[in-house]
Structure 1
Amino acid sequence: MIIASQRLQAVQEQDIANYPYVFYSQSFFDEVKDELWQDFGNEIVAFKHYFVQTPTEAYALSCESLPEIRDEKGSKLSHSYTEEASDYQEWQSLYQKLQENIARGKTIKIVASRQIKFTSEQTFKIEPVLERLIENNPAAFIFAYHKSGKTFLGASPEILVQKEGNHILSYALAGTFPRSLAQGDTRLLKDPKNLHEHQIVVQKIKNKMLEKSPQVQIGETGIMALKNVYHLRTLLSTIDTSNSLIDWAKHLHPTPALGGQPSKAALDFLRVNEKHERGLYAAPLGLIDAQGDGTLIVAIRSALFDGKTCYAYAGCGIVAASDCQAEFDETKIKLKTILEAL
């Protein structure tokens, strides 16, 4: 666990080695247009203070006098909230356009997403939300970024790219069954639609890696079990001494698990037909250390909090064999990650 506090300054990639850690974020699309996300986007940020906890030790790093750190247990506040009107009709319209796009041969997969607005009579408290995210999602990467009065947070199960020395790792994570389904993990491993969707992601990541490295290791496809869902997961790795972690993030993003395939055609479709701004949703973010190593996840199972309003996000990959209602239901299950933390 790493906590960074008190923003110091924005830095350039070549200056990362001057700081213990920097925070990196990249918006899903090249630019952010919606006012909701206006203060979030592509940046590398150094902070004044860092608290680091590993399985064996805990320590603080600071570029100036360290503020007092208090070990306080906050109350587990539960929020009362209201969901805005159902967006199912909007989803049906998007789904129909998407399937027409696939039928015309422009794409073979597109990842559609929903933005669901929740409101509360009281300001949402971030600390208990984070505490529940940590408790509920031990297999996920918990993240939170506070800026300009808003907090973007979530519990992502998916690594876009991890760099340790010259070792590069990426997750292909696509294909989903609910945990409530009897023998769901076994059935998911044999399900033709989900296996097809998953292999699209595996092959694209493999091909992108081969553009920067002559050899790619592909692990066995298995199950990643989360609180509410099972996912198909395949680990891909390679050796590279020439490119930075940020180079790799820009090269791989977005994989077909987040955008679609072919990538350009899928993104062009989403720009026109998805009504909400993705911002940092499903985009790379994470911490990079002074050696240039780190883990950049994709910010899924996430929400943006702004005072008394929470904008939660969920998506799913759609192929020709998909079903409109089933995919909508899948996004509802994925939304539980945030809702169960409220």
Structure 2
Amino acid sequence: MKICNFRAHYSPTMLSYVIIFMVEKMNYIKINLKLNNPLAFWANFSESERFFWFDPQKETFVIGCERLKAIDLEHDKFSDYTYLFHSQTFFDDIKGELWENFGGETIAFKHYFVVNKENSYTLTCDSPREIPEITIPKFKHQLTEKASDFSAWQELFYAIQKNFADGKSRKIVASRELEFTSQTSFELESIIQNLLDNNPNAFIFAYQKGKRIFLGASPEILVQKENDQLLSYALAGTFPKTMENAGQKLLTDPKNLLEHDIVVQKIKRNLLEKAETVTVGTTELMELKNVYHLRTILSAKNSELSLIDWTKQLHPTPALGGEPRHEALEFLRKHENHERGLYAAPLGLIDSKGNGTMIVGIRSALIVDKKLYAYAGCGIIPSSDALEEFRETKVKLKTILEAL
């Protein structure tokens, strides 16, 4: 199966089910289902709670629709469910209505559609549906942006520098929330398709509950678990690809190397608190559509903690919050004017063996009716410059804006 097969235009034909008489976890019936585009399954459940997941490493799509239940992790078992969608808000408490009662759960769904290299099928514990093929036209949203927030950014930046001068923190990751209004309702399938087309190396995700949908294209793995093997990305340090020789310059830039090393060392320490062994890989370039990042992969071994346990152990890394963690989070809670919600927070997929991947919800946006709130952040250290960091967030925002 070639992933690019899903990135074309499709004929609107109705495909039928071929039933396999096979019952899996929680009495899910497994049914062969082939669709030219997985988004056809997503689109068929437009009125329900649903999530979309594309894993570029495994070349796998998993789509879940219609909430079955929220899992009680103290009493329910991973093994009772074929897949679970997990999310955790950035802060434990939520301020304001925008993110209220959105995220922070582990959810089982009634229907799943799975596409991998070997086959494609649906799992359902309810009445199966016929899923019509869909055509996804390219749609260009007409947006109005709320007034620029550079003055607010400067105020936040200078407060961070004072925090450094007072000896409280070494690094703080500041973020921006940009508000856009669309003349029409947002075409969700078009946006997700554009995210897939534009970001082949990223995890593409979307989670919808009621009138709110959070979506994006994240390049960053917080923690990945495969039995007793763990993996985490230290992803920090950024240059735009418009800069001449950006990749090679990034690999030798003192400011970005320092920022990156703070992340590497903190993740290593957090892993060593509970893991049997930890291995730190070499620092390399990660190339995305608009930027280069510095990336170091850390691996560890542990057979006792669950994927969710490790998520809580590692979140947030200094790539998302700061260092020291407590001081940075305390500062951000006081000084950032917006609520982060699921932005920069863990979310991902867990299978029946407790294995899976938790990414962080960056390069992302929250859509509510005709409003879109786009988010971007950057790591600030004492040698940072306010204007340069502001420009970095603008480059990162392109991931979402180019999909609209």
Q: Normalising to structure 2: TM-score of the pair?
A: 0.84
Tell me the alpha carbon deviations over residues 107-139 of structure 1, each in whole angstroms, 9 at most, x when there is no partner.
000000000000012111111000000000001
**1: distance between equivalents of 2:103 and 2:123?**
26
CA contact (8 A) 1:173 1:234 kept: yes
Q: Which has the larger radius of gyration?
A: 2
**1: distance between equivalents of 2:109 and 2:86?**
12
Greater shift, 214-223 or 9-18, is seen at: 9-18
2:132 aligned to which of 38, 52, 70: 70
CA contact (8 A) 1:39 1:147 kept: no
Query: Would you say 1:205 and 2:267 are equivalent positions?
Result: yes
1:1-342 superposed matches below 5 A: 1-13=61-73, 14-342=76-404
Tell me the alpha carbon deviations over residues 276-328 of structure 1, each in whole angstroms, 9 at most, x when there is no partner.
00000000001100100000000000000011100000000000110000000
**Number of residue equivalences:** 342
* 2:221 partner letter: I
Equivalent position of 2:36 in the other structure: none
Q: Matched residues, percent identical?
A: 58
SS of structure 2 residue aligned to 1:59: strand
* Higher relative contact order structure (alpha carbons within 8 Å, sequence separation ≥ 6): 1
Structure 1 unmatched runs, 5+: none
Query: Deviation of residue 232 (structure 1)?
Result: 0.2
Query: Deviation of residue 216 (structure 1)?
Result: 0.5
**1: distance between equivalents of 2:208 and 2:161?**
37
* 1:164 partner letter: E
Query: Deviation of residue 16 (structure 1)?
Result: 2.4
Deviating 4+ runs (over 4 angstroms): none
**2: distance between equivalents of 1:74 and 1:190?**
43
SS of structure 2 residue aligned to 1:189: helix
**1: distance between equivalents of 2:78 and 2:111?**
15
CA contact (8 A) 2:276 2:302 kept: no
**2: distance between equivalents of 1:34 and 1:54?**
39
* 1:174 partner letter: A
* 2:137 partner letter: S
**2: distance between equivalents of 1:244 and 1:117?**
37
Query: Deviation of residue 17 (structure 1)?
Result: 1.6
Query: Deviation of residue 63 (structure 1)?
Result: 1.1
* 2:300 partner letter: T
Query: Deviation of residue 41 (structure 1)?
Result: 2.9
Query: Deviation of residue 214 (structure 1)?
Result: 3.1
CA contact (8 A) 2:196 2:204 kept: yes
Tell me the alpha carbon deviations over residues 223-243 of structure 1, each in whole angstroms, 9 at most, x when there is no partner.
000000000000001111000
**2: distance between equivalents of 1:41 and 1:254?**
16
* 2:66 partner letter: Q
Superposition RMSD in Å: 0.8
**2: distance between equivalents of 1:311 and 1:290?**
34
